[in-house]
Structure 1
Amino acid sequence: MQLQFLGTSAGVPTRRRNVTALAVLCSQGKGWFLIDCGEGTQHQVLQTSLSLNQLQGICITHMHGDHCYGLPGLLSSAAMNGRKAPLTIIAPKGIQQWIEATALYSEFNLGYELSFIEVNSQLHHRVGAVTIEAAKLSHRVPSHAYSFTEKTADFKLDVEKLIRDGVPRGPLWGQISKGISVAVNDRQISAQDYLIANHEAEKIVVGGDNDTPSLLGEICHGCQVLVHEATYTEDVALKVGSDVGHSYARLVAEFAQQAQIANLVLTHFSPRYQDHLKAAHCIDDIRHEAQQFYKGNLFLARDFATFDLDKQGQLSLMSRDL
């Protein structure tokens, strides 16, 4: 799977960063999922090779504007670009009411069906080879994390077991390697019993706004990548106060280290953090704080940065900017 960041700023956009949006691209085909849709997301999509006609689903973590104000415009643009396929939106309950009210009062007709699924901790939604699940987080409004697990057909034959069970070499092995069950001496052989996965399922967890990373413990089981907000460094977070409902770099880094997550991508940075090193608050301050407490593969997201997760669970930066 791949990640392409479309917005990495918290609250309001900056000259270099739009508000929150992230594309998760499937390993197979051109399908992709959108997590959050801050204002201007449709403009960000235009700067990429992503197609709204290939969009498989939209997941909204919570109903703050920097995570959802771009949704009506993006849906309308998809219609005007000829989308006909139904689209699933997984989101808090209020999203459906808001979109339906917007459609009513602005008189837009999408021309394709929207299917709304209310997010909760029991979510288990399957789209092709991708399974989407959710976990409840802690924020000023209800907020969730989403996991994306993709299982691809990449198996090898368990040769030792085939020989031990007397399954003769030849065409039967070929059928089993394709996942086809066969009969041997009037005995039915299940192909799945003789196939070994070459790699673990790819799993990425994307957190919404959240001041308690430990809530991600269960959903992060087996994941190779965690994408989580680090709105502040610890010193700024203490000045801002605990009621804002956000995490800081140390808090996320300590959780990722304890949970033994191989790859951590921080995003959703307060606009006060600038790119130049002489700024009062530099974006590298977030990186340096996280590195003190997390020893895995650490990245700070930038708009349009694209990351690739390989079959061995290693995340790498493919491109940084346009």
Structure 2
Amino acid sequence: MHIQFLGTSAGRPTKSRNVTSAAFVHSEPSNGFWLFDAGEGTQQQMFGTKLKLNKLDKIFISHLHGDHIYGLPGLLSSRSYFDGAGPLVMYGPPGLRAFIDGVFLHSGTYLEYELTITEIGPGVIMDDGQYKVTANELVHRLPSYGYRIEESEQSGHLDLEQLRRRGVEPGPEYGKLKRGENVILPSGELIRSTDVVGPPIPGRIVTILGDTCPCDNAVELAKNADLLVHEATFESGMEEKALAYGHSTVRQAAQIAAKAGAKQLALTHFSSRYDDEAVAELIADGQQLFPNMLAAYDYLEVPVPRTSV
């Protein structure tokens, strides 16, 4: 599991940064990915990655500002040309359906796959047994949402040495034991799953926030997250301007991560006024409050490792 950033600039693209988009890549079981926001040029950015549109099955939109959605019409249309592109579900705030329907109506666009658009409110918006996604409102000039992705806990590791000693050969019995089922050997010996399977492995938590001022819902969505992706449009000292435009400074993002108990913070959505050198200085400043912080840049991949047990 990892996050790959496709655009990390705020408002408009620069020579080195495209506007907002990030892919949540989950290699199991489908080797697929989800997209969070799709600013102008997102599908073009994907040519520099291993991501393929026929592996995309969900899109989550934070809000309807152009730098987060103007790439959607072209991306959705192009997906029709990919073999094996199955149904696609898109989540976002009210107004998303009208935007897509209007563009497709007036451009004569027809999709070769089923597209479902779900306009969301606060709460759990999906749970497929492997991942649960919770959305909540943030504070911005338009209705803006953050998303919390929670992975289900995984079965513990098999005690292979004990199984070998007890004469259990690799095969279907291993799967049964992993699923919590007991196994009776041909000799009549009972192998209890609880004796040979370790404790469950906690699921990972990834929080991806849309544009926002600091708020309680941001902290709640990011609580104990393994990775928090937070906007950082402005530098410290520009809190008044950040508030006026519905954004956050680097230090404010660091404070949210610290309050939430997040393990790692990836900052994105940097104002075009900052070049790479300036961004590095902003990060150094923010690390005084939250050391495990990094600046996202286009094509960066941030892994989300499992917690050791």
CA shift, 1:119, in A, is: 1.9
Q: Please tell me the residue identity of whatever aligns with 2:11.
A: G
CA shift, 1:220, in A, is: 2.1
CA shift, 1:63, in A, is: 0.4
Q: Please tell me the residue identity of whatever aligns with 2:106.
A: Y
Q: Deviations over 1:177-223 (max 9, x none)?
A: 22053499xxxx99689855453211100000010243222222332
Query: Quick check: which one's strand share is greater?
Result: 1
Matches within 5 A, 1:1-322: 1-28=1-28, 29-127=30-128, 129-151=130-152, 153-156=154-157, 174=174, 176-182=176-182, 196-238=198-240, 240=241, 242-276=243-277, 282-295=278-291, 297-312=292-307
Q: Deviations over 1:8-65 (max 9, x none)?
A: 0000000000000000001414110000000000000111110100002000000000
TM-score, structure 1 normalization: 0.83
Contact 2:88–2:115 (CA under 8 A) maintained in structure 1: yes
Identity of aligned residues (%): 36
Q: Please tell me the residue identity of whatever aligns with 1:232.
A: F
CA distance in 2, matches of 1:38, 1:140: 17
Q: Please tell me the residue identity of whatever aligns with 1:273.
A: Y
Specify whether residues 197 and 96 from structure 1 end up closer, same or farther in structure 2 by C-alpha distance, changes over 3 A only.
farther
Secondary structure of the 1:93 match is: coil
Q: Which sections of structure 2, spanning at least 5 residues, go unmatched?
A: 160-165, 185-190
Secondary structure of the 1:100 match is: helix
Q: How many residues align?
A: 296
Q: Please tell me the residue identity of whatever aligns with 2:5.
A: F
Contact 1:58–1:90 (CA under 8 A) maintained in structure 2: yes
Q: Please tell me the residue identity of whatever aligns with 2:92.
A: A
CA distance in 1, matches of 2:234, 2:139: 16
Contact 1:149–1:202 (CA under 8 A) maintained in structure 2: yes
Q: Deviations over 1:62-82 (max 9, x none)?
A: 000000110000001101233
Q: Deviations over 1:73-127 (max 9, x none)?
A: 0001101233541100011121111111111111111111111112221223134
Secondary structure of the 1:234 match is: coil
TM-score, structure 2 normalization: 0.86
CA distance in 1, matches of 2:126, 2:263: 25
CA distance in 1, matches of 2:194, 2:64: 43
CA shift, 1:152, in A, is: 6.0
Contact 1:213–1:251 (CA under 8 A) maintained in structure 2: no
Specify whether residues 153 and 241 from structure 1 end up closer, same or farther in structure 2 by C-alpha distance, changes over 3 A only.
closer
CA distance in 1, matches of 2:39, 2:295: 19
Q: CA RMSD in A?
A: 2.8
Contact 1:224–1:262 (CA under 8 A) maintained in structure 2: yes
Q: Which sections of structure 1, spanning at least 5 residues, go unmatched?
A: 159-168, 277-281, 314-322
CA distance in 1, matches of 2:287, 2:147: 25
